[in-house]
Amino acid sequence: MRPSLSRAGRYCAWIAFGFVAAGSLRGLWPLVALGAILCAALGVAYLWFFPTAILLRQRRLEMAWWVPTGAEPERGDGGTRGEGAGLGGALLAGRPFPLRVLLRNRSPRAFGDATLTPIASPALGLAGPLRARVPRLSAIELGTEVTAHAAGTWHLHGAQLALGDRFGLFVIHAYFPNPLGCKVFPRLSATSALPALTRRTAALHERAGQHRLRLRGLGGELREIRDHAHGDPFKQIAWKATARTRRLMVRELERDVVMTHQLLLDVSPTMRGGEYGRAKLDYGIEVCAALARAAGESGDRVGLVTFDSRIFDQVKAKSGRPHERRLLEHLMELRQIVDEDLTDPTDGELCALVARYLRHQEGIDIRLPAPPELDDPRWADVVTGPSGDLFDLEALDRVVTVFTAAARDAGSFGSRAYAATPAMSRLRRFCRQRGIEIPYRRGPGRKALGLTEALVLAARPRGSQVLLLVSDLEGLGDRIDGVLRATRLAITRHRLLVIVPFAPAFAEVPDDVHARRVAAILAQAERRALEGPRRAIESLGVPVLVVGREDLPQVVLRRWEHLRGARRGGLAA
C-alpha cells in the first residue's frame, strides 16, 4: 500500500525525463534544470502524500455498508441476507434496491479525492463508483443503487479504494474486504393476473380445498345425473331417474379436495446460457416461483423436483407459508450449484480458487513457501494448483471448516454439496456460502436420464394431479424413448403441461443487419431441432407451450389454472 503515480503524475514524469534528456543531448542546461525541478516537485509531493499511506495501513479509514430498512437483510455469513418471501421489504430480481456506505476517518488528516468501487457478484449491477472527500476526524455517508439481474444469493465482497493527493499526481489503492450477502427473490408480480382466491385459515387436516373433482363412489355432492356409460359402477345407478326416463342413468358426484402440484425444473447447462436475468433458467425460476405462490394462496400443496443428468434435489409437496419460503430458497440456490459432478473445476483449481479468495478477503495465505522433501509424508495433503502453486489441503480445510460452521450456526441454508471427499465437500459448501463463482459444467450432458428420473419420481404419488415441466428439451438425443415412456407413465395418473423456453427468444436482438440474418438462420435451425421432441411429446396428448423471454408467467398461470379444473386426471377412486 504505497503511493503510485496517477495518469497525470506519469505525464509529468515523462515530461521531466524528456526535459532532462533533451537538455543533456543539446547542452541546454536551463532545460535540464527545468526537468530537475519537475522531478524534485514530484519527490516533494510523494513525501507529502506518503503519511496518508501509513494512516491507511494503520486502518484509520474504516468502511461499512448495509441495505437500509425496508429491504433489510438478516445477519449471516459475515454479511446479511434479505428477508421476506416476495412481500414488502424483500429484494426482488430486476428491482433496484438502495445501498448505504459509511466512511469514517479516524485520522488527523483529510482524505480527498476518494473513489470507492464495489466488487460484487456478476449478477449484481452497480450504479457506478462512489466519489467523496472525507474530512479529518469525521464520517460521511454515501448512497447508491444496486440491481440484481437474477434471483439468487449474491454477494458484495468488498470495495476497491483509490485515494488521490491534492494535486492529482499520486494515488493509493486499497481494498476493504466486507462481505455482504443479499438474498434476491424471483419476480413474483405475475400472480396478479390470477383471479381472487379465498384464503384458507383452517388447519391443514380441516381444509377441504377449493377444487371440485368428479368421484366414483358414494361420498361427495351430486354434480349431475347422466346416461350410463361403459365402466360406471353398479352402485352409481340412479334408480328413480332410470324409472322416470326409462333409460339407465347414473349419479356423478364431486367433492372439494386439496390438489397437489409438482414442478419439474431443468437446471442443465443448456438452460444457463446468456446473461443473468435473460437465461432460460431465470425464466423457469420465475415461473415456478409464481406457481408456488399461487398454489400457496389457494391452499394447495406444491412440490419441486430439479434435475440435470440426475435429480439435483427434491422439495416434497406441502402447503403453507413456511413451505413456500423453503421452495423459494431452493429456487434461489439453483444459481449457486457447486456439486462436483455438475461443475467444471478440478480439485486443484478449486483449492486455488478458495486460497486466492482467503488471501484477498481474510489475509490468510495457504500456499506452501517451498515444496516438501520427496519422502515427506506431508505430500499426502498437498494439492497443486493450475499455475503450479502448492497448497496445504489440511490447513485449508481447517480454515474453511471454521467459516462454514460459523455460517451454519447463523442459519444459512444450502449446506449440502456433493464431492468425492468430505474436505472437498466443505470447500464447495464454502464457495456457495461466500458467493465464490464456480463455473457450471459445459455441454448438454445426459439430460434425458435426469428428465426420465424426474418424471418417474413426480408421477409416483397417487395424489399429484398436475405436473408442470419446464425444460428446453435440448440434448435429448437418442434417449428420448426413455423420456416418452416416463411421460406415458406420468399421464396415466396426472395432468402434464410442458413449458419450453426457446433459446433464440431469450437472446438480444443484434443491431447489425448481417448479425440479425445470422441469428435468424440459427433460430431456424434450433426450431427444427426442437420440432422432433415437441411433436413426440404432443403425440401423447401432452400440451407443449413454447415461450420466450417476453412471455410473462401469466400465460403459464392461465394454462395452469385451466388444468386445475381437469375432470379426470389423478382422481381418487
Task: Please check whether residue 209 lies inside any domain of the structure.
Answer: no
Query: Using 50, 70 and 90 to split pLDDT, how confident is the model at 156?
Result: very high
**CATH number of the domain encompassing residue 275:** 3.40.50.410
In a domain, 29, yes or no: yes
Q: How far apart are CA 413 and CA 217, in angstroms?
A: 45
Q: What is the pLDDT of residue 409?
A: 44
Confidence class for position 221, pLDDT limits 50, 70, 90: low
- Do 40 and 151 lie in one domain? The reply is no
Domain end among 203, 238, 254 = 254
Check pLDDT > 90 for residue 159.
yes
pLDDT at residue 170 above 60?
yes
**pLDDT of 74:** 40
Kindly indicate the confidence band of residue 147, based on its pLDDT and cuts at 50, 70 and 90. very high
Residues 301 and 347 in one domain: no
Do 269 and 224 belong to one domain?
A: no
Residue 55 clears pLDDT 70, i.e. is over it: yes
Asked if residue 516 and residue 471 are part of one domain, the reply reads yes
* Region 332-339 average pLDDT: 90
- Percent of the chain at pLDDT above 70? 83
Mean pLDDT of 372-380: 80
390 in a structural domain? yes
Cell of 438: 464456480
| Same domain? 83 vs 170 | yes
What pLDDT sits at residue 374?
80
Which residue range(s) make up the domain with 234? 220-254
Residues 6+ positions from 423 with CB-CB distance below 8 Å: 393, 397
State residue 455's pLDDT score: 93
Whether residue 386 is contained in a domain is answered as yes
* pLDDT at 551 > cutoff 80: no
State yes or no: pLDDT of 286 exceeds 70: yes
φ, ψ of residue 232 in degrees (nearest 5): -70, 135
Query: Which of 194-208, 311-325, 496-510 shows the lowest mean pLDDT across its residues?
Result: 194-208
Contact 184, 82 (CB under 8 A): yes
Is residue 277 scored above 70 in pLDDT?
yes
Can you say whether the dihedral through the CA atoms of 191, 194, 199, 203 is positive or negative? Answer: negative
Average of per-residue pLDDT across 418-426 = 88
pLDDT number for residue 305: 94
The C-alpha torsion from 71 through 77 and 79 to 85, rounded to 10°, is 0
Number of separate domains in the chain: 5
Please check the confidence at residue 208 and state whether its pLDDT lies above 50: no
More confidently predicted of 414 and 30: 30
| Judgement on whether residues 33 and 141 belong to the same structural domain of the protein | no
Shared domain for 172 and 64, answered yes or no, is yes
Q: Does the residue 204 lie in any domain?
A: no
First to last CA, the chain: 75
Whether residue 93 is contained in a domain is answered as yes
Cβ(143)–Cβ(131) below 8 Å: no
Distance CA 568, CA 494 (A): 9
Judgement on whether residues 323 and 448 belong to the same structural domain of the protein: yes
Same domain, 351 and 384: yes
Residue 211 lies in a domain: no
How many Cα atoms sit within 13 Å of 100 on the Cβ side?
11
Same-domain status, 156 and 97:
yes
> Do 449 and 421 belong together in one domain?
no
Domain boundary among 198, 231, 254: 254
Of the listed ranges 83-92, 172-181, 337-346, 470-479, the least confidently predicted one is 83-92
130 and 238 share one domain:
no
With respect to residue 530, please indicate whether it lies within any of the assigned structural domains: yes
In terms of pLDDT, which residue wins out, 126 or 76? Answer: 126
